[in-house]
Amino acid sequence: MTDAPATPAARPITLITGASRGIGRAIAERLAADGHDLALTYRERRDAAEEVADACRALGARVELFEVDFADLEAADRLVPEVVAALGAMTGLVNNAGITGRIGGFLDAPIEESELVFRINVLAPIVVTRAAIAHMSTDLGGSGGAIVNISSGAATNGSPHTYVPYAMSKAALNILTLGTAREFAAAGVRVNTVSPGTTYTEIHAAAGRPNAPEERAPRIPMQRAGHPHEIAGAVAYLLSDDASYTTGTDIRVAGGN
Ligand code: NDP
């Protein structure tokens, strides 16, 4: 008697926000290598996003690109249904897109900038996560899924003299993880956080301090900033079956800080 041929397992379908560069790009390439099909968002750098998509396709992934500015919460709300229409039932979400605001003292941070930081880093993830959970929840007819929120070490150190409102926004994101993890644990949806320390990306130039990784290195126990692929590994683990009993937790990838 011969065994029946195994049915190939369905490929995970994962949405990554802000995947045109930096940590989001590294996550996309790692997940493509791990066998995910991908929905990738970018705000304005279409060429960079196309490059990431090509790299992921070369690794065997189906990839769709979505242009979305998360300052527009209505556009954020349309994203998950658009992804499902393009690729099929979504099994994973990585809330990665984020901004810091300009580096400086707390008294100098304009309130309009703090408002935008909260819109991109907190309100948009709430909107996208609600749509993702509504789609994934087994209580609502979905097949379950996993969500990873990209927070920051800033959430627990407050980032004095640097960007207190950004640190506040990431602390709020940590509670999005905890609350939704517990509310939807019995509905097949796992939610976790990855908290990078300072990582080599363009986010520091946008904050006005392109050399921040080198400047901060002496205060990091490992004496260096991280690389995007070192963050991506933790995300890949949390989205994998190896993490099937892991929810509501935070993996800090910060060189000892
Ligand atoms: P980058 O600035 O390198 O990349 C940001 C990504 O987000 C890009 O894909 C960008 O798209 C997109 N994006 C930016 N603004 C918006 C917006 N308004 N709407 C939609 N998409 C937007 O950032 P990093 O890779 O450094 O950061 C990724 C995440 O990691 C963030 O949440 C950040 O807070 C967090 N983090 C980063 C650390 C670091 O040291 N780098 C440390 C700790 C946490 P486009 O290219 O089209 O502009």
How far apart are the C-alpha atoms of 112 and 180, rounded to whole Å?
28
How far apart are the C-alpha atoms of 168 and 173, rounded to whole Å?
9
The verdict on domain 13-251 having CATH code 3.40.50.720 is yes
Q: Which residues, including other chains, have CB under 8 Å from residue 110's CB and lie 6 or more apart?
A: none
Active-site choice (42, 163, 166, 245): 166
Ligand 1 pocket test, candidate residues 21, 170, 174, most atoms within 8 A of CB: 21
- Residue 135 CA, ligand 1 centroid: distance in Å: 25
Q: Which atom of ligand 1 is nearest to the CA of 24?
A: 25
Summarised one tens digit per residue, pLDDT across range 228-237 is 999 999 999 9
Ligand 1 pocket test, candidate residues 67, 99, 116, most atoms within 8 A of CB: 99
Q: What is the mean pLDDT of the chain?
A: 96
- Quickly tell me which residue has 């939704």 as its tokens: 180
Q: 54 pLDDT exceeds 80?
A: yes
Nearest protein CA to atom 34 of ligand 1, as residue: 98
Summarised one tens digit per residue, pLDDT across range 79-116 is 999 999 999 999 999 999 999 999 999 999 999 999 99
Domain ranges within the chain, ordered by starting residue: 13-251
Average pLDDT over residues 193-197: 98
> Helix, strand or coil for residue 246?
coil
pTM metric for this prediction: 0.97
How far apart are the C-alpha atoms of 70 and 84, rounded to whole Å?
19
- Residue 119 CA, ligand 1 centroid: distance in Å: 14
- Residue 180 CA, ligand 1 centroid: distance in Å: 23
Strands 13-16 and 92-95: parallel
How far apart are the C-alpha atoms of 30 and 179, rounded to whole Å?
28
How far apart are the C-alpha atoms of 218 and 230, rounded to whole Å?
19
Is 163 among the residues known to form the active site?
no
